[in-house]
């Protein structure tokens, strides 16, 4: 049985619309408020004072538990985290 809760995390990320590589500063476009509004749904497999770790895929077929497709999100970026109820059928 998997003991980690499923969560939906609403968080904010930075965005970059400028060209990659060295660019002349006087040729850049004006700065805009570009913030990516993100949602991540997965298993909350770790947390600390400063961040949370969410895995999109986990399996308990092997021991110890294995996880795939993980993201660490800084708590300062988290707008809201909801615990989800999963019904097995």
Q: Is the pLDDT confidence value at 17 over 70?
A: no
Q: Give the pLDDT band (50/70/90) at residue 89.
A: low
71-75, Cβ contacts within 8 angstroms, sequence gap of 24 or more: 71/40, 71/42, 73/9, 73/11, 73/40, 74/50, 75/49, 75/50, 75/51
| pLDDT tens figures, 24-78 | 888 877 777 788 999 999 999 999 999 999 999 999 886 788 999 999 999 999 9
Instruction: Say which residues have a Cβ less than 8 Å from residue 49's Cβ, sequence separation at least 6.
Output: 75
What's the confidence (pLDDT) of residue 65? 86
In the chain, what are the domain boundaries?
Answer: 1-16+34-89
What is the pTM for the complete model shown? 0.81
Fold of 1-16+34-89: SH3 type barrels. (2.30.30)
């Amino acid at each position: 049985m998997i003991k980690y809760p499923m969560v939906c995390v609403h968080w904010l990320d930075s965005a970059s619309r400028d060209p990659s590589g060295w660019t002349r500063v006087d040729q850049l476009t004006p700065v805009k408020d570009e913030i990516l509004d993100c949602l991540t749904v997965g298993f909350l497999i770790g947390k600390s004072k400063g961040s949370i770790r969410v895995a999109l895929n986990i399996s308990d077929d092997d021991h110890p538990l294995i996880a795939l497709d993980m993201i660490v999100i800084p708590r300062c970026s988290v707008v809201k985290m909801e615990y989800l109820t999963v019904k097995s059928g």
